[in-house]
Structure 1
Amino acid sequence: MAWREPAWFTRPALRFAFQRGIEACGPTARIVRPPRRYPGGFALAVHLDLPDIPEQTVTIVFGQYSPHTPHIYSDRPSESPHRYAEGALCIWYPYDPAEQQWTRRKEEWWRLTGEWPGQEAPHHTPEPQS
């Protein structure tokens, strides 16, 4: 296997800067153990208590093989059609143009009407890149 530069989150200063950046927006965040499927990864749990959405904890996970693409999990609501098989939120399909990617307004519309505005992307779990 060829040498690869270590992931950004292996440096404590960068992990803490990421955490401080989220906390600067208001929510509290804490570093947590990543799920087993992301060994050697980095995870941050963010508690959200915002108007118009249920109180929830969102966990942002970076894997060692995908250090620049976060996997995002929410502890509620779980019935969203925009989740991968393992439960991660389908926030965007990496190959979509900007106008087709997830936005908060589209999610709000779906929660109000049950209709997703726009085309549906496949929700298969992407394979880790090595």
Structure 2
Amino acid sequence: MTRRPAWRAPAWYARPAARIAFQHRLAACGQPVRVIKPPRRYRGGFALAVRLRVPDVTEQTISIVFGPGAPDVPCVYTDGPSESPHRYADGALCMWYSYDAPEQRWIRDDGPAALLGHVVAHLLREQWWRNTGEWPGQEAPHGT
């Protein structure tokens, strides 16, 4: 006899109202936002594309992906320059250490504007690193 997996509450984005509210709050930051299909490995998740126009950074589109495995932890990808010491093997931005205190990383209660702030700060750090070879700010050990 096989056991059924324990019941888990649906992810926050399973409710259309929550997805729409997140999208509109992100669009209120003044950047164009659109819903996109999540990458195959995040099937069943929720993804948005945001066109970023930030001074001193190449204009680029970022993809914010929430997957079913960790629905409150976004994976962020960009179509901009990829040279960085703070990217995961799949190209996702490594913006914070998983075990950082909530004040040092994004949590869903912070809202979409704060997430966008983390992304912009990370992209600015990457640009600084490309220009100087120095990473501004704190660094945490992480694997490839």
TM-score bucket of the superposed structures, by smaller chain: 0.7 to 0.9
**Which one has more relative contact order, counting CA pairs under 8 Å at least 6 apart?**
2
User: In the alignment, residue 133 of structure 2 is paired with which amino acid?
Assistant: G
Q: Report deviation, 1:11.
A: 0.8
RMSD, aligned CA: 2.4
1:82 match = 86
Equivalent position SS for 1:31 = strand
1:67-125 superposed Cα distances (whole Å, 9 cap, x missing partner): 0000000001111121100111101111135569978277154243111243342134x
User: In the alignment, residue 40 of structure 1 is paired with which amino acid?
Assistant: G
Percent identity over paired residues: 55
Give, in whole Å, the separation in 1 of the partners of 2:131 and 2:139. Answer: 18
Q: Indicate yes or no: 2:31 matched with 1:27.
A: yes
Q: Indicate yes or no: 2:76 matched with 1:56.
A: no
TM-score, L = length of structure 1: 0.84
User: In the alignment, residue 122 of structure 1 is paired with which amino acid?
Assistant: H
Query: What count of residue pairs does the alignment treat as equivalent?
Result: 124
1:110 match = 129
Give, in whole Å, the separation in 2 of the partners of 1:109 and 1:123. Answer: 22
Any unmatched runs of 5+ in structure 2?
A: 107-117
Runs of 4+ aligned structure 1 residues displaced above 6 Å come to: 99-103
TM-score, L = length of structure 2: 0.76
Greater share of helix:
2
